[in-house]
Every structure is written in structure tokens, then in C-alpha cells.
A and B are shown apart, each in its own frame.
Chain A
Amino acid sequence: MLAKRIIPCLDVKDGRVVKGINFVNLRDAGDPVQCGLRYSEEGADELVFLDITASSDRRKIVAEMVRRVADSINIPFTVGGGLRNLEDIQDILRSGADKVSLNTSAVSDPSLVQRAAERFGSQCIVVAIDARRENGGAAKVYTHGGRERTDRDAVDWAKTVADLGAGEILLTSMDADGTKKGYDIELTRRVSEAVQIPVIASGGAGGLEHLYEGLTEGGASAVLAASIFHFRELTIAETKSFLRERGVVVR
């Protein structure tokens, strides 16, 4: 059977790992290759690197990091953050990433999703959706690292990008992110029921129960978490044995 995936997320800036709490207050925490290797040895199923480098030679810095990661890690990894066009995407894939994740650029120009899927294949195009609820109800899509609100409904947007050829959706609840109170299960469920491509739940994981809920009630194919793994509150191994005991198929 297809296993549910556990995906640690590493935020990187200038080639170093950091972690944002609610997208701000970054703490330096190491080398991306070392962190990635540690996770992969512990049994992580995939890795996601979200790049927030702002400097003018970011393309070079990111490509170099991707090459280093690809040279030492043999599980799949996704790279996202600031990819604006087909050339940016090609750079990252040529450097050795298995997938790229698009967010702001997909919202500003949805045809990018289609063009990228046609050129590189759906399997390597992940669309990241940052969503925030309005008065606890429908969720709107946010861009620019969560700073800008759009009028797009998160569930509709998920359907749109799936139709455009995205291979996977990385859904982050901005309301839940950083709270450690669990994923937004209801939103995750609505998105995973609306599309036929895999959905990764993200934002809010604080404990084992949360990961379990995301994969079962939430209907997600994978769960992503950053700080709980990063600060060793949980290891991948104990996460997996917890899930396995509860009947979730994991590797």
C-alpha cells in the first residue's frame, strides 16, 4: 500500500537553515545538507526546503545549495520560495531538486503552473497555498510569504491549480501555523476532497496526534512539519511508530 508521508520542512536563508515562527523571528539552526541527511537517516520520506534568501545573487546561492543536497541525499526533495518563471524553475530542477513549489508566482500568473507542468511534468510542480480564514469561515489565499491577501478562495484555487496540471498541493493554514494546536483539519479535508492530486497538510503541528489527524480526518497524503522536528520535540522514528500502531501505513 501507498504509505502516508512525513515531510520535515527546512526554511533556508543564504544557504543556512532557519525557522520562522509565524513567518517572522528567525533562528539560525544549521547546514541544510547536515539537517537533510539527519532527517533522511531518521526515516523522513521527503524533504521540503523553503528558501527566503533576499540577496541579489540568490539564484546562485540556492542552486549551489540544491546541488549540495542532491549530491548527498537519496530521498526526494522539493525546493520553493521566490521562483518567478520557467527559468527559475529550470535552474532548480537542473541543480537536482525533484520538485519545485510555486506560491506567489502561481497566483500572479496561473498560466505559469500550466507551462511548468507541460515543460517539466506535473510530478515536479507543487503549488503551495497559504490560506487564512475570514471570521473562521472560508479561507482566502495569501501571497508574498503571507503578507498579501488575495480574493481567491483557497479551495477554488486548489481546484484551479490541479486543473492547470499541478502534481501536488502544499496547504498551509496561516491561522494554525506556529500555534502548535494542530492542522486546520476541516480546511485540509475540504481541499483534499476537492482535488484528485495529493495534498500535504502544513501549519500547526505540535504533537503526534496532530499528524495522525491530518493524515486521517484531514485526508492528506502527507504531513509537513518544521519546528517539532527541528527542535527535537519529536523524532521521525517515534512519529512513525505512533502512526503505525494506529493503523496508518507508513514506511
Chain B
Amino acid sequence: MITIVDYKLNNLRSLENTLRRLGHDVRVTSEPDEVRAASKLILPGVGAFGDGIRNLKQLGLAEPFIENVNSGTPALGICLGMHLLFTESEEFGYHRGLDLLQGRIVKLPPNLRVPHMGWNQLHPNGANGLTNGIAESSFVYFVHSYYAEPASADIVLATTDYEIEFPAIVHYKNIWATQFHPEKSQHVGERLLDNFARL
């Protein structure tokens, strides 16, 4: 059973439906106890970092999420969900994140067209369960104005180029996170979500 954490910022239908179509059990919840007891977690999201972390805390989800992930439960952060896993963000001011991953969230350079919106290519650094079967240069769907700058390059599992190179997937212990939206990335995204479900 995969537990999708609903912190009331987004519609989660696409993610839920994609996982169901792939034949996996899914639960979408805002209940702290269900998040604490989950055997596999997805922290999804699109939107502003400040709103995301505020909602997670107000709904009492931040603490059980951190506890459960620290106990070794596999977790996948998507887009804003990826950002929230990091230490801090400079998005519209300064915000502390969940600090499960070391690093900060910074703005894409001002000379680029922002948001970085559309299909861009993945460049995996090596083999990993999450990217199993996903070819070099596969296209996935991005929409974001900020990106993750991890404290250690060792956690970068795949990169993407948009004038600059930034992490598209990170992996540290039982935590994975994608800057792009697998639930909007058609077959490549399905493969990745299926891989996560089978980890």
C-alpha cells in the first residue's frame, strides 16, 4: 500500500489514478496516524514552498512523516514534495524544510525562461532501482522555478540540463525525490512510479 500525503495544496487525482492503473494499492490521506504507520510514502506537490511547509505543519503531518521516514520507510518526493525534503529554501523569503535531505532550494537563473516548463531529458548517473528500465535522455515533464542544490553531489541520481545542470532525481538511503512530475510524464513516469511501488 502506497500512502500519498495530502497536505491540501493540490489535486492528487493524476498521481492516485496512475498508481491504481498500474495495479497498486493507494491511499490518499491527511491523517497523521496513517502517515506515521505508512509502509511507503509519497510526498507530492506543486506550488509555493512556504504554503507547503505551513500546511504540512498545520495538519500535523510534518512530524509523523519525518519519524516514519527516519525509521527507514521508502519515501518519494515529487516536485514541491522534493523541495520540502531539503533543509531550507529561498523561495519568497526564507523557509526551513523537513531537513531529511541536506541542501537548499534556490531560484533558476534570471536569464532563463521561468518556469522551466515542459518535457526535458533525464541523464541518470548510474543504475538504481527507481530508474530501472528508464533510458538515458528519456523525456519527463517539468514545471518549476526553483531547484534543489544538495549539500553533497553524491545524492544526485539523475540530472537535467536547462542551460544549467540541476538534479532531476536524488536518492539518499530510503529517500528518493524527483524534480519532474512522473504522474504527468506518460510512459516514462509510469515506469518510475511502478519501480518505486516495487522497491
Residues of A within 8 A of B (CB): 1-5, 40, 45-46, 67, 70-72, 74-76, 93-96, 98, 120-124, 167-168, 196-198, 221-222, 251
- A221 & B46 in contact (Cβ 8 Å cutoff): no
Decide yes or no whether B117 CB sits under 8 A from chain A. yes
Q: Which residues of A contact B184 (CB under 8 A)?
A: 74-76, 98
Give Cα distance in the complex from A1 to B14, angstroms. Answer: 25
Decide yes or no whether B141 CB sits under 8 A from chain A. yes
Give Cα distance in the complex from A96 to B14, angstroms. Answer: 7
- B48 & A2 in contact (Cβ 8 Å cutoff): no
Decide yes or no whether B1 CB sits under 8 A from chain A. no
Q: Which residues of A contact B162 (CB under 8 A)?
A: 1-2
- A94 & B118 in contact (Cβ 8 Å cutoff): no
CB interface residues, B 141-199, toward A, < 8 Å: 141-145, 161-162, 181, 183-186, 189-190
CB interface residues, B 122-153, toward A, < 8 Å: 139, 141-145
Give Cα distance in the complex from A72 to B145, angstroms. Answer: 28
- B190 & A196 in contact (Cβ 8 Å cutoff): no
Give Cα distance in the complex from A43 to B139, angstroms. Answer: 12
* A163 → chain B closest CB, angstroms: 13
- B145 & A74 in contact (Cβ 8 Å cutoff): no
- A197 & B113 in contact (Cβ 8 Å cutoff): yes
The residue on B at minimum CB distance from A76 is B184
- B183 & A67 in contact (Cβ 8 Å cutoff): no
- A198 & B115 in contact (Cβ 8 Å cutoff): yes
Q: A5 and B46 in contact (CB under 8 A), knowing A74-B14, A251-B139?
A: no
The residue on B at minimum CB distance from A77 is B184
- A3 & B13 in contact (Cβ 8 Å cutoff): no
- B161 & A1 in contact (Cβ 8 Å cutoff): yes
Q: Which residues of A contact B119 (CB under 8 A)?
A: 2-3, 5, 45, 251
* A86 → chain B closest CB, angstroms: 15
- B145 & A123 in contact (Cβ 8 Å cutoff): yes
Q: A122 and B115 in contact (CB under 8 A), knowing A74-B14, A74-B190, A76-B143?
A: yes
Other 7 A-B pairs with CB < 8 A, given A74-B190, A196-B110, A198-B117: A70-B11, A70-B13, A71-B13, A71-B17, A121-B47, A196-B113, A198-B118
- A221 & B117 in contact (Cβ 8 Å cutoff): yes
Q: A40 and B186 in contact (CB under 8 A), knowing A1-B161, A70-B13, A121-B46?
A: yes
Q: Which residues of B contact A93 (CB under 8 A)?
A: 10-11
Q: Which residues of B contact A167 (CB under 8 A)?
A: 115, 117, 143
Give Cα distance in the complex from A131 to B144, angstroms. Answer: 28
Q: Which residues of B contact A71 (CB under 8 A)?
A: 13, 17
Q: Which residues of B contact A3 (CB under 8 A)?
A: 118-120, 139
- B47 & A74 in contact (Cβ 8 Å cutoff): no
Decide yes or no whether B27 CB sits under 8 A from chain A. no
Decide yes or no whether B3 CB sits under 8 A from chain A. no
Give Cα distance in the complex from A251 to B141, angstroms. Answer: 10
Q: Which residues of B contact A5 (CB under 8 A)?
A: 118-119
* B188 → chain A closest CB, angstroms: 10
* B13 → chain A closest CB, angstroms: 4
Q: A123 and B144 in contact (CB under 8 A), knowing A1-B161, A75-B184, A221-B113?
A: yes
- B115 & A123 in contact (Cβ 8 Å cutoff): yes
